[in-house]
Amino acid sequence: MSTTVEQKGYFGEFGGSFVPEELQNVLTILDENFQKYKDDEDFKNELDYYFREYIGRQSPLYFAENLKQQLGGAKIYLKREDLNHTGSHKINNVLGQILLAKRMGANRVIAETGAGQHGVATATACAMFGMDCTIYMGLEDTKRQALNVFRMELLGAKVVAVDKGQGRLKDAVDEAFADLVENYESTFYLLGSAVGPHPFPSMVKHFQSVISRESRAQILEKEGVLPTAVLACVGGGSNAIGAFAEYIADEEVRLIGIEPDKAATLNEGTPGELHGFKCLLLQDAQGNPLPTYSIAAGLDYPGAGPEHSYLKTIGRAEYVTVSNEEVLEAFQVLSKVEGIIPALESSHAVAHALKLAPTLSPDESIIINISGRGDKDVEQVFHMLNK
């Protein structure tokens, strides 16, 4: 089974591009350049160079033997995206898009960020390539992730705290798109998740699919067979679509996305439009996005990527929820048992794995995508645990 991107980037009924005409012209040019360069040998060689020499790819697929012994059941492998330069999977997509921006002659880059990891990755790449950088971040998230705000500013980025709405990720995206509409002639919007109007979801998937391209080869080398399941947290869905991409055609591999129970877009959402695309959306009777909450700022989004919406609808992927209490427990378990402090976002996937692994047989394996490291969350977790 495979997902097909139809004209203007549809996955079944989801996706598309519902934007003002002047912005559509910008997106059309972006798509033309993406199609031109994504398979260009010089472009691929340059991207591979930075993946290897700057990010430190490939990232390990680590056998969590201690965790397996504690839980029983399936072997647990961790795809260590937390070991990438800047501490998460976000840098994969950022380097792909910044090389595209360079070829398109852009000198100003803007981005949105929730937990701050995409903002840090964007600021890092802009520093390296000498580009002007502005990051939009919800005011509430700037408080929760003050360390990442300082990191972005240290790297030379201007961080704009958005106090509209809930002051969270959705509101940051709103402001970034408003900036793009106003400044499209000189500005490249480096969108961080697999959301938004076409071509963003397909572009982000393309650059993040390196995760599953590596893990598929790695698990076959280690186990000789494909995993029973691949697990990844889902907000907008970039790390999950990257972790799933190369397995979508392997119907025997379960694809499991894990959402916060207070932002269960794919479990509880209905089809609607958000930020210029159609997806499963938490919305009121008038189609307005509902407030969401997650202790993980990167998962605090009322919609999900169009391909995730499609995979959910056709039954190819499963999407489950976990509670804040389960996430905090998983954060501590992986830290204490394996010496790996995961991001709160990634801890959602770990939380479900703690329940899933014991139900499987010892000759089966699962892969958890550890999308980021938990340094950014340690102070927040300290305060939550010591209330």
The DSSP call for residue 155 is T
Map 237-254 to HEC letters.
Answer: CHHHHHHHHHHCCCCCCE
Question: For residues 291 and 345, what is the distance between their CA atoms, to the nearest angstrom?
Answer: 18
Question: For residues 69 and 140, what is the distance between their CA atoms, to the nearest angstrom?
Answer: 40
Question: For residues 273 and 9, what is the distance between their CA atoms, to the nearest angstrom?
Answer: 14
The reply to whether 90 belongs to the active site is yes
For residue 246, the tally of other CB atoms under 10 A from its CB is 19
Question: For residues 39 and 56, what is the distance between their CA atoms, to the nearest angstrom?
Answer: 22
Annotated catalytic residue within 90, 205, 312, 376? 90
Question: For residues 336 and 292, what is the distance between their CA atoms, to the nearest angstrom?
Answer: 30
Question: For residues 288 and 356, what is the distance between their CA atoms, to the nearest angstrom?
Answer: 35
3-state helix, strand, coil in the chain (%, to 5): 50, 20, 30
* DSSP structure string for 31-48: HHHHHHHTT-HHHHHHHH
The reply to whether 205 belongs to the active site is no
Whether the bond between 199 and the residue before it is cis, its omega within 30 degrees of 0, is yes
The reply to whether 246 belongs to the active site is no
Dihedral (C-alpha) 94, 100, 105, 111: value to the nearest 10 degrees?
-30
Annotated catalytic residue within 81, 112, 214, 307? 112
Q: Which helix (H) or strand (E) holds 259?
A: strand 254-260
The two structure tokens encoding residue 292 = 């969401």
Helix 90-103 / helix 41-50 crossing angle, nearest 10 deg: 140
With CA atoms as reference, report the closest residue to 31 among 15, 11, 13, 9. 9
- As beta bridge partners, residue 232 has 257
Distances (CA, A) of 99 to 10, 241, 275, 326: 25, 21, 24, 39
Catalytic residues: 90, 112, 371
